[in-house]
């Protein structure tokens, strides 16, 4: 990195914690531009006006007052029906504005289809005349001497729905907050559900409560912004004390103690949660259940100490298993000791990114389904996208989307003792984080390290040599040994294919588990031959010259001319895979048979409308997930021989083999499958059956369980089948960056090219600066015209 002036260290500046996030948010084009912006920043932070908590609360309660004229003209009407599925219970005393705001929010969420019971403790304000503004609710009068929780208990006893909402006066559910909450109660273990409780200043009052062993408690997330990564995921918690709660009516009446000798509404709610947990129930926190609430009422220190003493004695068996006060809140926030996995990858996966990110989704989903809490940490962050996060990931996954590599060390230190497993994805990530993990070993578990190879740079280099007619397996193992050298601290090595696992065994590793790509859910039917047309290329090209780019270039220049002479004009080729920012495919789109690149492609629609999938990659070491997706939708494929072997499929059974660097064979397979309905139907049926296995999910879950068991060290020590292998060749070799270029060598005396190796790391590739004398030796993995071979 260049030095713009003496005393300016851009390297050190680029490694400052949070610098990547600042670069994303500022829009700076490079690290130097960000440094310039940081120098121009004012030395004194700008002063921002702020209101007090009382002012925020006053402004919040002015809203229901402004609604009164409208409500008078058109009163709120609740129509619960004879058998309501949901009841709301509100306990109030002289809290007219708060009650009105709560009823307005409930009406907006349910369109009035909810049973409402208002328990009034002898109000002398407008609450006594609430029927003038609200119709269809039940008002229960109770003496003023009763506490708010005692009144609440009477209201619940009067309700008729199986699930109730305990709504404190002033709590306002956000729009659509109740949608999606009903499925939580399908599990009989879930007795209480709550969510993010925001104050009137929009900061979090509570996102679940942590109960310490001495009976004290900590409202987790207080003061944070809504939907911060640390609170934006579903989890089981110790208790929820602020805001509306969903609760099973029968469990409330069985375990809630209205006459408990404690002071304060929130303390009674806390006692109720502990009683339910001690009886075997579970309390779930869902950030989608979002509400705005007044600040909880404070009590004196004397009353707080008395409450803590009573709770500690009353729930001693349960609290004896709670963490001691002072432990990491990030560890203690998960109830019932849920094992936590730190899942490290290069970037946040998205479905449109394709392979290898689709495999990340499968792994995360399987870990989540097996009862693990997954913390996804990307090395290269992105602008937070709440919509994509909600659509793509299970709601229990914690995504650190606002962090990056520069903050990994500080993040691990802040979460000391919080992780049970560390799952590292692919070699480039391993090389970037291994030294950070070693430096912070005291904050990480002793065991539980997992490395998922999922395609190696050594295997890609080997395949590129094979394209150049050099089959040197010894060089492949040498490269692989260097690539996985940093895995010495991992207890489990995960391979994506049997061939990948065998290469690791050749190096002397025994702690290997093969985890194939997970077949996606399959529809029951798929469109037939006549309802489809055209060819589909769905593989992603992440960078110029990568393995997929090489295969597409070979197809366009060597295979497509043959297809042009045989296929009808309507048999177009759609390039629908992801393209990296620096990838330019306009050269291909100028061809008449190639369709324009769609900006937003509906993968599901394409897989059910195109007639044939093509995968011409020759040098990729990563098993393609797109082939499985196509098979799940009844879309047959023509694959190169290496891809067919990675899929563990047979030529003529699940897919048609196009050979290896054989344009004529690949074209013949496409022509036959595209034009022969009977042949197409047979391939589509067998491909569909290959992924439509009833036990496929159980098999994948069993593999995940095997990986975690081996990583934990609980199983037997895996003994290597072969002795360690020593590197046989020097590591000094020509490093090249392959690109799909059309090369026209001069017809001069031939000179052998120096040996080359390729590593699957974009940051480690360098241009080949070695000058060659005589005839031009083509870069490995790049085709040249047949007449020049």
- Over residues 441-484, the pLDDT tens digits come to 999 999 999 999 999 999 999 999 999 888 899 999 999 999 99
| Mode of pairing for the β-strands spanning 734-735 and 756-757 | parallel
Picking from 305, 335, 365, the residue at the C-terminal end of a domain is 335
Q: Does 371 map to a domain?
A: yes
**Shared-domain flag, residues 164 and 177:** no
d(CA 56, CA 36): 38
Q: Does 430 map to a domain?
A: yes
Domain count, the chain: 5
**Shared-domain flag, residues 466 and 536:** no
CA distances to 358, 495, 497 from 501, rounded to whole Å, are: 20, 5, 6
pLDDT at 599: 64
**Shared-domain flag, residues 556 and 498:** no
pLDDT at 383: 66
Nearest 5°: the CA angle 160, 165, 170 is: 130
Taking the model in full, what pTM does it have? 0.85
Low-confidence spans in the chain with pLDDT less than 50: 42-48, 731-737, 739, 741-789
Tens of pLDDT, residues 246-293: 999 999 999 999 989 999 999 999 999 999 999 999 999 999 999 999
Q: Cis peptide before 356, with omega less than 30 degrees from 0?
A: yes
**Shared-domain flag, residues 256 and 312:** yes
d(CA 561, CA 564): 5
Picking from 138, 170, 202, the residue at the C-terminal end of a domain is 170
113 near 80, Cβ under 8 Å? yes
Residue 464: give its domain's CATH number. Answer: 3.40.50.11930
- Nearest Cα to 292, choosing from 164, 203, 163? 203
Q: Exposed, middle or buried by CB within 10 Å (0-12, 13-18, 19+), for 299?
A: middle
Q: 156 CB contacts (<8 Å, ≥6 apart)? A: 89, 164, 166, 249, 252, 253, 256
Q: Exposed, middle or buried by CB within 10 Å (0-12, 13-18, 19+), for 481?
A: buried
**Shared-domain flag, residues 258 and 363:** no
**Shared-domain flag, residues 179 and 279:** yes
**Shared-domain flag, residues 236 and 286:** yes
d(CA 781, CA 764): 18
Q: Does 724 map to a domain?
A: no
Q: Does 414 map to a domain?
A: yes
Q: Does 100 map to a domain?
A: yes
Q: Long-range contacts: 763-772, Cβ < 8 Å, 24+?
A: 763/428, 764/428, 764/735, 765/735, 765/736, 765/737, 766/735, 766/736, 766/737, 767/736, 767/737, 768/734, 768/735, 768/736, 768/737, 770/734
Q: Does 4 map to a domain?
A: no
Q: Does 710 map to a domain?
A: no
Residue 166: give its domain's CATH number. Answer: 3.90.550.10
Chain position carrying tokens 């989890």:
235
**Shared-domain flag, residues 558 and 687:** yes
Which residues in 15-85 belong to E strands, given as ranges?
A: 76-77
pLDDT at 27: 67
Q: Is the dihedral of CA 257, 260, 262, 264 positive or negative?
A: positive
CA distances to 273, 494, 502, 759 from 512, rounded to whole Å, are: 44, 6, 9, 22
**Shared-domain flag, residues 211 and 322:** yes
Chain position carrying tokens 């393609």:
624
**Shared-domain flag, residues 592 and 501:** no
| Mode of pairing for the β-strands spanning 340-345 and 421-425 | parallel
d(CA 424, CA 484): 12
Picking from 640, 659, 692, the residue at the C-terminal end of a domain is 692
Length of the chain in terms of residues written:
789
**Shared-domain flag, residues 181 and 321:** yes
Residue span of the structural domain in which 16 resides: 10-39
Question: Residue 541: what are its φ and ψ, rounded to 5°?
Answer: -115, 100
> For the chain, what percent of residues have pLDDT higher than 70?
88
Q: Does 489 map to a domain?
A: yes
**Shared-domain flag, residues 130 and 240:** no
pLDDT at 49: 53
pLDDT at 576: 92
d(CA 137, CA 110): 14
Nearest 5°: the CA angle 121, 152, 271 is: 130
């Amino acid at each position: 990195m260049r030095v713009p002036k003496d005393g300016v260290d851009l390297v050190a500046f680029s490694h400052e914690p949070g610098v990547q996030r600042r670069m994303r948010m500022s829009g700076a084009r490079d690290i130097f531009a960000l440094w310039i912006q940081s120098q121009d920043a004012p030395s004194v932070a700008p002063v921002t006006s702020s209101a007090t908590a009382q002012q925020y609360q006053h402004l919040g309660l002015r809203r229901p007052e402004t609604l009164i004229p409208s409500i008078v003209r058109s009163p709120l009407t609740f129509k619960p029906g004879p058998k309501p599925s949901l009841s709301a219970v509100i306990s109030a005393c002289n809290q007219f504005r708060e009650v009105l705001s709560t009823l307005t929010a409930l009406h907006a969420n349910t369109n009035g289809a909810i049973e409402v019971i208002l328990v009034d403790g002898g109000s002398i304000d407008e609450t006594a005349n609430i029927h003038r503004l609200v119709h269809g609710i039940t008002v229960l009068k109770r003496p003023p001497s009763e506490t708010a929780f005692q009144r609440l208990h009477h209201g619940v006893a009067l309700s008729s729905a199986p699930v109730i909402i305990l709504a404190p006066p002033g709590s306002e559910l956000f729009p659509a907050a109740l949608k999606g909450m009903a499925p939580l109660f399908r599990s009989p273990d879930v007795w209480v559900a709550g969510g993010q409780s925001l104050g009137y200043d929009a900061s979090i009052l509570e996102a679940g409560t942590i109960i310490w062993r001495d009976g004290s408690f900590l409202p987790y997330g207080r003061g944070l912004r809504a939907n911060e990564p640390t609170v934006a995921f579903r989890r089981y918690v110790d208790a929820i004390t602020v805001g509306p709660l969903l609760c099973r009516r029968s469990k409330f009446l069985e375990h809630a103690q209205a006459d408990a000798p404690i002071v304060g509404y929130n303390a009674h709610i806390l006692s109720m949660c502990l009683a339910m947990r001690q009886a075997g129930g579970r309390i779930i926190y869902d950030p989608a259940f979002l509400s705005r609430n007044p600040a909880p009422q404070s009590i004196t220190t004397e009353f707080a100490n008395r409450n803590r003493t009573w709770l500690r004695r009353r729930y001693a068996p349960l609290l004896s298993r709670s963490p001691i006060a002072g432990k990491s809140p990030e560890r203690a926030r998960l109830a019932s000791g849920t094992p936590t996995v730190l899942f490290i990858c290069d970037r946040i996966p998205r479905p449109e990114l394709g392979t290898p990110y689709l495999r990340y989704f499968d792994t995360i989903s399987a870990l989540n389904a097996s009862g693990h809490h997954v913390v996804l940490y990307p090395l290269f962050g992105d602008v937070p996208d709440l919509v994509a996060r909600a659509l793509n990931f299970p709601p229990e996954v914690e995504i650190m989307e606002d962090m990056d590599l520069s903050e990994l060390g500080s993040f691990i230190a802040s979460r000391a003792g919080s992780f049970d497993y560390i799952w590292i994805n692919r070699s480039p990530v391993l090389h970037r984080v291994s030294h950070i993990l070693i430096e912070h070993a005291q904050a990480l578990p002793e065991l539980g390290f997992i490395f998922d190879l999922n395609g190696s740079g050594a295997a890609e280099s080997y395949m590129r040599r094979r394209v150049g007619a050099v089959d040197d397996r010894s060089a492949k193992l040498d490269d692989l040994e260097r690539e996985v050298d940093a895995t010495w601290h991992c207890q489990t090595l995960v391979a994506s294919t049997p061939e990948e696992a065998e290469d690791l065994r050749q190096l002397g590793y025994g702690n290997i588990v093969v985890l194939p790509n997970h077949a996606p859910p399959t529809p029951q039917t798929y469109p037939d031959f006549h309802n489809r047309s055209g060819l589909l290329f769905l593989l992603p090209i992440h960078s110029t010259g990568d393995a997929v780019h090489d295969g597409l270039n070979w197809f366009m220049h060597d295979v497509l001319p043959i297809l042009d002479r045989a296929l009808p004009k309507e048999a177009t080729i759609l390039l629908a895979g992801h393209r990296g920012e620096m990838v330019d495919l306009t050269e291909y789109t100028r061809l008449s048979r190639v369709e324009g690149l769609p900006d937003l492609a509906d993968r599901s629609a394409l897989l059910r409308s195109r007639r044939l999938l093509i995968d011409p990659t020759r040098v990729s070491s990563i098993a393609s997930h797109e082939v499985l997706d196509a098979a799940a939708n009844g879309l047959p494929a023509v694959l190169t021989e290496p891809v067919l072997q990675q899929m563990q499929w047979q030529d003529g059974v699940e897919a048609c083999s196009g050979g290896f660097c054989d344009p004529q064979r690949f074209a013949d397979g496409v022509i036959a499958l595209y034009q022969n309905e009977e042949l197409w139907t047979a391939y589509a049926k067998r491909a569909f059956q290959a992924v439509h296995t009833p036990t496929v999910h159980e098999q994948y879950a069993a593999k995940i369980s095997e990986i975690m068991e081996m990583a934990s060290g609980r199983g037997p020590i895996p003994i290597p089948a072969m002795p360690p292998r020593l590197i046989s060749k020097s590591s000094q070799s020509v490093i090249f960056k392959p690109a799909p270029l059309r090369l026209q060598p001069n017809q001069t005396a031939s000179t052998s090219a120096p040996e080359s190796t390729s590593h699957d790391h974009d940051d480690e590739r360098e241009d080949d600066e070695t000058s060659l004398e005589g005839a031009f030796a083509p870069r490995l993995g790049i085709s040249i015209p047949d007449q020049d071979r």
